[in-house]
Amino acid sequence: MDAIYAEALSKTYGEKKAVDDINLVVPEGSIYGFIGRNGAGKTTTQKMVCGLARPSSGNVSLFGNPIGKQDVREQVGVLIEQLALYPELSAYENLVLQGLNIGIANPKEQAHKSLQLVELIEAADKKSKQLSLGMRQRLGVAVAMMGSPKLLVLDEPINGLDPQGIIEMRGIFERLNQELGITIFISSHILGELSRIATHYGIIHDGRLIQQISAAELAEKSRDYLFIKASDNDKASKLIQDKFSPSECSIHDDGIHVFGIKNSRGVNELLWSNSIAVDAIYLHQQDLEEYFLRLMGGVQYA
Amino acid sequence: MLNIFKMDMRRILHSKMFYVCLFSMILVTGSMIIFGVVPDFPSILGAGAGGTEDAMMGNMMGVGMAFMVISIFYTLFICQEFTSGFAKNIFARHANPIRYIGGKLLSLTVSGSIMLLAFLLISMILMALAGGGVILPGGVVGLFGLIVGKILSVATLASLIIFTCLFARKSVVGIIVGIVVAMGAIPMVLNLVGSIVGLPWIAEIMKYTISGLSGLPTLTFSATTLAIVIIGNFIWSALFAALGSRAVKLKDI
């Protein structure tokens, strides 16, 4: 079953279409990385998914049920746009209030467990405004986790964290997903970090979801390949296929992409021996960030 | 609804804001009685003397200082949910906005009533100290009727402020609305306009406004007055609750 299924979802503010007819599928149990530039429509989409913004058109269902149903809402924890904490109240008190909000039987006990989960037990009595950014982010996740939701919707939860904080948050997300089976729908600008945990990706651009892809598919698409720019790409391609039988060999505007072989010296010798001049040959390695940039048309990612 | 009520009551009792508002209300009330700032009210130390409990409790517990302090407290309490972002935690978990509005109405009515009862108690003690004891023209029933009427007015004020905050999301707007109601500014202006243009029935209608209804209950019990207060406040509360629910549906959180 899909944790999130959004169909033809749109949101318009005045004349501007913030989200334009997107179909989003977040599989249950996944960590779904939601990627896009600033203003691409990530936050608006996430707000619609958890009922904080009303779609101009389209539908959202969570775990097979429409978002308007109360029992569906009880399965969602959110951390969107800013930290949803009372600054004057302690970390513990913020958690207890959230426990009361969602009506769990033992909010104090649950607050303790949540503090332990995010390793904030020593800071329980500190006012949330006195906590460091990293601690506040973790507390925000703990608040979202109250009541053991099946789905977490997190908007830029690692923004502004130092490397240590990012590592800690990654550990928390992995535990929540792998040990508790929680589906995580997370947006982030830190693509390198996202690529370490995400099992699926959605790429949004100017309000449109331009691609949904699993991590396995992405790995396949962005796998290493041998790049060759030769004086005669057609002939070179044919020679390489005959000699090395690569898994894939395709000619692009910029050159030849050969998958399944890494023997650049052998290829070079083959082409030279057949009187084909080689302008460039190297092993190309592509990560999520580069994949995203290529998809965006090479525009600098903000 | 009960979840929101329990959450709110815990926040009210764990925050300084409630106690500051309660203390400031008691302080101002006590000062007015002790130093006789208002000439018609009984005073212990000031020049004014000989006022009645009805004037004190009827006027001040309704339109006036008490409503002003309570409306400021309500506004700050609700708006803090939006400025802190905690409202997202609430609305993400509650599909029906009536759960939020109902819970909030209940908790604000309870906290406002605590303030009013504290005000009443302090006033009665200080007036008794001013000399002459506490005279209750309608007896205990009259006092009970006054309290019920004022609590209903506080509930209506809560409903109005909830709607205002959900619609405007700005504490300054909520505070202005609260002050306008507490001062009875709208009935005052319309009464004036009515008398200038020769429409005396406007004054009659104005007693059914929120400000007008809050001034109706007195220590002299009147079943008719109480019925008007109950029905009038119920209608206003329901209206603003419905508008508040609409505001939540129309505006993103």
| CATH number of the CATH domain containing A107 | 3.40.50.300
Q: Are residues A42 and A63 located together in one domain of the fold?
A: yes
* pTM of the entire predicted model: 0.79
Which position has the higher pLDDT, B41 or A273? A273
Residue A270's pLDDT is 93
Task: Answer yes or no: is A291 within a domain.
Answer: no
User: In 10 A of CB A279, how many CB atoms?
Assistant: 9
> Does B246 contact chain A (CB < 8 Å)?
no
Task: Answer yes or no: is A96 within a domain.
Answer: yes
Q: Answer whether residue B44 shows pLDDT above 70.
A: no
Strands A200-205 and A183-187: unpaired
Residue A238's pLDDT is 93
Q: Answer whether residue A34 shows pLDDT above 50.
A: yes
Residue B14's pLDDT is 86
User: In 10 A of CB B251, how many CB atoms?
Assistant: 13
Number of cross-chain residue pairs from A and B with Cβ atoms under 8 Å apart? 85
Is B86 close to A86, i.e. CB distance below 8 A?
Answer: yes
Is B86 close to A100, i.e. CB distance below 8 A?
Answer: no
- The least confident of A23-27, B19-23, B108-112 is B19-23
pLDDT average, residue stretch B31-36? 71
pLDDT average, residue stretch A87-107? 92
How many angstroms separate the CA of residue A136 from the nearest CA in chain B?
13
Task: Answer yes or no: is A295 within a domain.
Answer: no
Task: Answer yes or no: is A253 within a domain.
Answer: yes
Residue A300's pLDDT is 43
Q: Are residues A120 and A251 located together in one domain of the fold?
A: no
**Can you tell me the distance from the alpha carbon of B20 to that of B11, in angstroms, rounded to the nearest whole number?**
14
How many angstroms separate the CA of residue B19 from the nearest CA in chain A?
15
Q: Are residues A250 and A211 located together in one domain of the fold?
A: no
Q: How many domains does chain A have?
A: 2
Q: Are residues A108 and A84 located together in one domain of the fold?
A: yes
Domain that includes residue A248, residue range: 223-285
Task: Answer yes or no: is A300 within a domain.
Answer: no
Residue B43's pLDDT is 54
- Average pLDDT of chain B to the nearest whole number: 82
Residue A301's pLDDT is 41
Q: Are residues A145 and A245 located together in one domain of the fold?
A: no
pLDDT average, residue stretch B206-235? 85
- Average pLDDT of chain A to the nearest whole number: 88
Residue A268's pLDDT is 92
Give percent of chain B above pLDDT 70: 86
**Can you tell me the distance from the alpha carbon of B244 to that of A169, in angstroms, rounded to the nearest whole number?**
38
Is B95 close to A86, i.e. CB distance below 8 A?
Answer: no
Is B249 close to A54, i.e. CB distance below 8 A?
Answer: yes
Is A89 close to B14, i.e. CB distance below 8 A?
Answer: yes
Is B253 close to A98, i.e. CB distance below 8 A?
Answer: no
For residue B79, the chain A residues in CB contact (below 8 A) are none
pLDDT average, residue stretch A167-188? 90
Q: Are residues A111 and A191 located together in one domain of the fold?
A: yes
Q: Answer whether residue B45 shows pLDDT above 50.
A: no
Q: Which of B84, B104, B245 to mutate to test the interface with A (most CBs of A within 10 A)?
A: B84
CA nearest B66: which of B168, B146, B163, B164? B146
Task: Answer yes or no: is A211 within a domain.
Answer: yes
When mean pLDDT is compared over A204-208, B28-32, B107-111, the highest value belongs to: B107-111
Residue B47's pLDDT is 39
Q: Are residues A201 and A240 located together in one domain of the fold?
A: no
Q: Are residues A9 and A136 located together in one domain of the fold?
A: yes
Candidate from A74, A81, A96 with C-beta closest to B93: A74
How many angstroms separate the CA of residue B11 from the nearest CA in chain A?
7
Decide if B218 contacts B143 (C-beta within 8 A): no
pLDDT average, residue stretch A114-119? 86
Which position has the higher pLDDT, B182 or B64? B182
Task: Answer yes or no: is A299 within a domain.
Answer: no
Interface of B with A in 52-91 (CB under 8 A): 80, 84-91
Q: Answer whether residue A291 shows pLDDT above 80.
A: no
Is B91 close to A51, i.e. CB distance below 8 A?
Answer: yes
Residue B6's pLDDT is 92
How does pLDDT run across A230-259, given as a tens digit for each residue?
999 999 999 999 999 888 888 988 899 998
* DSSP sequence for B166-223: HHH--HHHHHHHHHHHHHTHHHHHHHHHHHHHT-THHHHHHTTSHHHHHHS--SS--H
Q: Are residues A67 and A116 located together in one domain of the fold?
A: yes
Task: Answer yes or no: is A227 within a domain.
Answer: yes
Is A96 close to B15, i.e. CB distance below 8 A?
Answer: no
pLDDT tier for residue B132 given thresholds of 50, 70 and 90: low
Q: Are residues A136 and A245 located together in one domain of the fold?
A: no
Return the CATH number at A257: 3.30.70
pLDDT average, residue stretch B164-184? 87
How many angstroms separate the CA of residue B111 from the nearest CA in chain A?
17
For residue A68, the chain B residues in CB contact (below 8 A) are 95
How does pLDDT run across B160-172, given as a tens digit for each residue?
999 999 998 888 9
- The least confident of A141-145, A158-162, B232-236 is A158-162
Residue A15's pLDDT is 85
Tokens found for residue A156: 């830029």
Q: Are residues A76 and A7 located together in one domain of the fold?
A: yes
Give, as one character, the DSSP assignment of residue A300: P
